[in-house]
Structures are given as C-alpha cells and as structure tokens.
Copies of this chain bind each other. A is one copy, B any other.
Amino acid sequence: MAELIGNLLVGQSGGPTSVINATLGGVVTEAGKHECIEEIYGGANGILGILNEELIDINEQKQKTIAGLRWTPAAALGTSRYKIDFKRKPERAAKDMDRLFEVFQAHNIRYFFYIGGNDSQDTSHKVHLEAVKRGYELRVIGVPKTIDNDLPHTDSCPGYGSVIKYNATTVMEVGLDVGSMATDDGSCCIIEVMGRSAGWIAAGTVLAKRGNPVKPPHIILLPELVFDQEKFLAKVKETVAAYRYCVVVVGEGIKNKQGEEIGADMSHLDAFGHPVLAGAAEKLKEFVHGK
C-alpha cells in the first residue's frame, strides 16, 4: 500500500469531558510529525461543522495554544450531538454523506479523526464503509472519549477518570454533610449519577469510601443488575439502623425485573432516540418514603 498523502481533519463529538482537548492536542501534535499529512483542519462542532464546511486551519494556531489544550476545559473545536441517522432519517442521512464526501474531496481530506463515544464511533465506522464504497481513499480513526467507560477495547477510557474524580469527591462531601446531620430519626440520601446502561460511574464512586466500609456510599445500584426493591429497602433499613444514615448512589438507567428503566420517561426521546431519564433517584425516594 503506497503512503497516502493529503490533509487531516479532526472533530470532537458529543458531551465534552475534562480531557477531550488533551486528546485533540495529542492528535494534532502527532500529526505534525508525519510527512504524509500536509494540512491539519479542525471541524467546528463535530460532524455538523464539517457538513457546513466550517473548517479551522489548526496549522495556523500558535504552538502554545496547541500545548495548552492539555489543560483547557470543554471542547475547543466545539462539539454537537448531531447524528447521521440512517435508521430514522435515511434520506437526510444519504444527503449528509454526499455532502461529507464533497467537503472531504474539496479539501483533500485523507485522514479523518473523530473523537467521541459510542455514537461517534458508529459514525466513524459508517464514514469508513462509505469511503470504501465510493472508492475514496480515506483513513478513518475513531478516537475514544466517554465518561461512561463503555467503549469496547478500552480499559479506562479518557473522560472516565475525571468524571469519577468529580463524582466520588461529591459523594464524599455530601456523605460528610448528611452524616453530620443524621439523628435517631435516620436519614437516607440518594445521589443519581449518569450512565444509562453502564454502571462504571456509579461503581467508581466507591472510591469515596476510601476503603472504609462504614463510610458512604453504603449502597451502589448498577444498571447492569436487576433492581430488587425489597432487597434495596432492607439494606437501607439495615444501614440506617447501624449508622443512622444511608447514602445511596444510583446509576440513572437501573431496571426492574420487567427490564424497564425505573426512572424512564418514554414520552421524551433525545436526538439519538433514547428515552430521557430523569427520575431513578426520584423513584427510589418514593420507595423509601413509602417504607
């Protein structure tokens, strides 16, 4: 295979994390070392900016700016949740693909790096398949980013460490306050964390215990395990009896025996067609109050 010479385009997708800019910095810095890559472009607001041909010439940025990406919060290129949705909007998706390759061709894009989670990796894969189909020489590299830590082939995904640091610290802080307010009446505090199908964020708050079984969180509910209301209430009771308070961490997507998300509101779907979750902690509160 002859070396492919051309320009690079990098985009950021989905929710920003504390480190998605560090990843961007890594892509740009490494790309600068390879002669086969001529220009380096950034797409503004992910795939959306590419469709709108809003490309930023990263080679024109100061070295200091690129180095600073390691410590820059949010998403420097801008991001979006726009999806090329072949399933629900096949006509628009086909048009989007045409437009994407038009932009790729116009700017001789031969390396496409897309930083994002599951949906973005799926987009990258589709772009790759499309390139093969069209006979357009393109190297597509999906770069992992997620707070959920649910990307296959990654152990600890960039984005997970920082979200756990934040969440575990919050649980620790809340735990100290709730513990100091606990009286014989007993109290129960429920903290809902993100993670629709993956319990990594909920599980990671165990760090707040610092190895001490007495410290919160006392109960962690993972979406991977079937939620058992009776067992849960018994454990809350037992914990309150022992320590006068109980801190529960619940992953937003926990499901009952019927496989239904206990906090799901099926009347609202997000851009990717997933139900908007708002109420796992709210539901648990009702259960505990009704106890």
Q: How far is the CB of A116 from chain B (nearest CB, A)?
A: 12
A74 touches B176 (CB 8 A): yes
Instruction: Kindly state the interface size class of chain A when it binds its partner.
Output: 20 to 34
Contacts of A73 in B (CB 8 A): 173, 176-177
Chain A residues numbered 72-104 whose CB sits less than 8 Å from any CB in chain B: 73-76, 78-82
> Complex formed: what's the CA distance from A181 to B81 in Å?
8
**A16 and B180 contacting across the interface, CB-CB below 8 Å:** yes
A45 to B179, CA, bound (A): 11
- Distance in Å from the Cβ of A86 to the closest Cβ of chain B? 21
The complex places the Cα of A181 from the Cα of B15 at a distance, in Å, of 7
A182 at the interface (CB under 8 A from B): yes
Decide if the interface of chain A is mainly helix, strand, loop or mixed.
loop
Is the CB of A48 closer than 8 A to any CB of chain B? yes
Given known pairs A82-B183, A183-B80, the reply for A74 and B15 (CB within 8 Å) is no
Bound complex: CA of A82 vs CA of B187, how far in Å? 13
Residue of B nearest to A278 (CB): B282
Q: Is B74 within 8 A of A177, CB to CB? A: yes
Q: Indicate which residue in B15, B80, B81, B183 contacts A177 across the interface (CB closer than 8 Å).
A: B15
Chain B residues with CB under 8 Å of A75's CB are 177, 180-181
- Give the CA-CA distance A81 to B181 in the complex, in Å: 8
Which residues, 163 to 188 on A, are CB-close (under 8 Å) to B? 173, 176-177, 179-183
Whole-angstrom distance from the CB of A180 to the nearest CB of chain B? 4
Interface code A1-35, partner B: CB below 8 Å = 1, 0 otherwise? 00000000000000110000000000000000000
Task: Specify which chain B residues have a CB less than 8 angstroms from the CB of A15 in the assembled complex.
Answer: 177, 181
Which among A78, A80, A82, A181 has the highest number of chain B CB atoms within 10 Å? A181
A76 touches B181 (CB 8 A): no
Provide the residues of chain B in CB contact with A82, threshold 8 Å: 183
Chain B residues whose CB sits within 8 angstroms of the CB of A180 once the complex forms:
16, 74-76, 78-79
A283 to chain B, nearest CB (A): 15
Residue contact A74 to B179, C-beta cutoff 8 Å:
yes
Residue of B nearest to A17 (CB): B177
Q: Which 5 A-B pairs have the closest CB atoms?
A: A74-B176, A74-B180, A75-B180, A16-B177, A73-B176
A–B complex contacts, Cβ < 8 Å, 11 sampled = A15-B177, A16-B176, A16-B181, A73-B177, A74-B180, A75-B181, A78-B180, A78-B181, A78-B182, A80-B183, A82-B183
Residues in A lying within 8 Å of B, measured CB to CB: 15-16, 45, 48, 73-76, 78-82, 173, 176-177, 179-183
12 further contact pairs, Cβ within 8 A, besides A79-B181, A82-B183 = A16-B180, A45-B183, A73-B176, A74-B179, A75-B180, A76-B180, A78-B180, A78-B181, A78-B182, A79-B180, A80-B181, A80-B183
